[in-house]
Amino acid sequence: MLTDLALVVLAYLLGSISFGLLIARVYGGADLRHSGSGSTGATNVVRTLGKTAGILTLLGDGAKGLVAVLCALKWGQASVLPALAAVAAVLGHMFPLYHGFKGGKGVATALGGLLPTLPLPLLGGFIVWLVVVVVWRYVSAGSMLAALVVPLLAVFWSYPVPLILAAVIIALLVLYKHQENLSRLRQGSESKFF
């Protein structure tokens, strides 16, 4: 039990590593929390520092979620611990211990964290995200809709309940972190990606 708790804490601490801020330092850019949208995620990095920096951020943020869940899976095959690790990593990204609890919106970290346990629902969510971004060019709308689709598909394909609950919690967290985007979408003032 103590080791399980330690793994969840480790997942949060991994999630707290802000690849956006680290890459911004390497690129000599300003603090992302005071640039663009104020998010440390890949979309703001692309807008602030360019595509290469954004891709590196996406990969780093996804990798920390993936590593957290793979560690949990290695420890035990039960679905509860990987589900907790995925949620903890996303929480770490959104509310990072190392950066004043001001982080990104959790989408890339959720992608990495859910990939080993919910691959088919995640694929469905990615397709929704891609369609929204290509057709309407709103990353935020695509991210929110994808986050909602993943738990629905997890239920449809009868995944274990802890994984479904993790997907629901992550979807709610993603929606919470996108409140300002949602408000701008309603007002018609949200920035398009390209």
Tens of pLDDT, residue by residue over 12-32, are 999 999 999 899 888 877 677
Residue-range domain boundaries for the chain: 2-187
- The whole-angstrom separation of Cα 133 and Cα 151 is 20
Tokens of 91: 């929480």
**Residue 180 CA neighbour count, 13 Å, CB half:** 7
How many angstroms separate the CA atoms of 86 and 107, rounded?
12
The predicted model scores a pTM of 0.94
pLDDT tens digits for range 46-75: 888 889 999 999 999 999 999 999 999 998
What 8-state DSSP symbol labels residue 192?
Answer: P
